[in-house]
Amino acid sequence: MGSTTNQHYVPRFYLKKFSNLSSGKYKIYLFDKFRVKENIHFSNIKNVATSNGFYDFPIESEKFFDDHNIHPETLSDIVNLSVGRKEFDRYLTKYEVKMQSIYNAFENRVSDILQSNNISQKNKIINKRDKQRWSQVLSTQYLRTPAFRKAIQEIKLKTDRWHEDQFFAERQASEILKIIIFNISIYYPHIPVSSLKLASEMSVITVLSMQHKLHNEQIALSHYGTFQKRVGDLSKILQRHKWSLGINQTDIPFYISDNPVARSPYSAGYGSEGVEILFPLNPKFILILRDKKHPKATEHDGKIVTLSTSEILVYNAAQVYCSERFVYCQKNEFELAKQICIENPEICSDAKDRVKIVYEIPKYD
């Protein structure tokens, strides 16, 4: 990432693998799903998959809690400011150094094996250590993206709206307060509920105001807290899958996106039955993780597999479906992406549904 102002949520060295050297600069083609016209650009990778201050924590938190007379023993217990405004960015900068080392070592080993005549090595290339290392890389990459942050925001908005609609009409104020506090504790795991010291006389409107403020100004904190809590769990899920390495020998390059750890089908979870998880390493190599019940899981476990044209198109489609907004390619070949957006306009809009909520009244003691 380098700069802590212009922060990449997909590493620049990874984007470089899919780029072209043009006038001394590495550039990549991008397709913008949210634009009907002028939706293809050829951009410098330093300006791709990036956002100013994306991982910075807000500084407005302290004033808000002071304004509402909420005083825990230490304010940093609530907003977790003790980790520092740049902590998430610094962590990911260190992670990218490690990721690049893992990436280069694996890519070199694959290239050596493909050039050799050692059939036994070709039959089994991905070992337990590879899975441990790459599962950490893939889980970190997924959880750091705008797509994941948008999912957190959508969960918050949908649950907040439901709580407000349902419970204002049906519950006493004290019960509404408990449910809202419960909601905060679930979706902001870094905030200890006990430290909020919400007095019984505090109005529901004040608590809702606090909740909306958390949503609007603390989403980076929520993202970081959820990231810390989930990265290990997701890594374990990925390690349980059957892994293989797909080789692309066609003229069709792999797509990547602003959310490159894709799923097929895209509506499945990373641990769902029969799911495929797809992470292109470059325009010709792709990591494929399959649930054990997938038809090809056992047959291809640990192996190098040459992919058919139809498989490559399916895997490129997964990048389009799972991307938040942008799809990237080494070539200006986005006919597939355009067709998907024509046939599925709901996934090519910022108004798309990213999560489905099954509502259940929580118990709060």
What is the count of structural domains for the chain? 1
More confident call, 107 vs 187: 107
Q: Does residue 157 fall inside a structural domain?
A: yes
- Count CA within 13 A, CB hemisphere, residue 272: 12
Q: Is residue 100 part of a domain?
A: no
Give the three-class secondary structure for 43.
strand
First vs last Cα of the chain: how many Å apart? Answer: 44
CA pair distance 134, 197, nearest whole angstrom: 42
pLDDT of 123 strictly over 60: yes
Across the range 272-300, mean pLDDT stands at 96
pLDDT digits (tens, 9 = 90+) for 155-206: 777 666 655 555 555 555 566 566 655 655 555 555 444 444 443 345 555 5
Per the model's pLDDT, the better-predicted residue between 271 and 354 turns out to be 271
Mean pLDDT of the chain: 80
Is 156 or 46 the better-scoring residue by pLDDT? 46
Q: Say what the pLDDT of residue 361 is.
A: 47
Q: Which residues contact 12 (CB under 8 A, 6 or more apart)?
A: 1, 2, 45, 46
Q: Which pLDDT does position 246 carry in this prediction? A: 96
Q: Is residue 20 part of a domain?
A: no
Residue 129 within a domain: no
State whether residue 189 is helix, strand or coil.
coil
CA distance 269 to 230: 14
Residue 244 lies in a domain: no
* pTM above threshold 0.85: no
Q: What is the pLDDT of residues 66-86, one digit of tens each?
A: 554 444 333 334 344 444 557
Pairing of strands 326-329, 25-32: antiparallel
In sequence order, what are the beta bridge partners of 326? 32
Find, among 322, 22, 5, the residue nearest to 145 by Cα: 322
pLDDT tens figures, 13-39:
999 999 999 999 999 999 999 997 889
* Tokens describing residue 144: 């750091």
Whether the CB-CB separation of 143 and 226 falls below 8 Å is answered with yes
The answer to whether residue 69 is domain-embedded is: yes
Domain assignment of residue 27, yes or no? no
Average pLDDT over residues 344-350: 90
> Is residue 181 included in any domain, yes or no?
yes
Residue 73: domain span: 61-86+146-227
The residue written with tokens 């797809």 in the block is: 278
The pLDDT confidence band at residue 238, using thresholds 50, 70 and 90, is very high
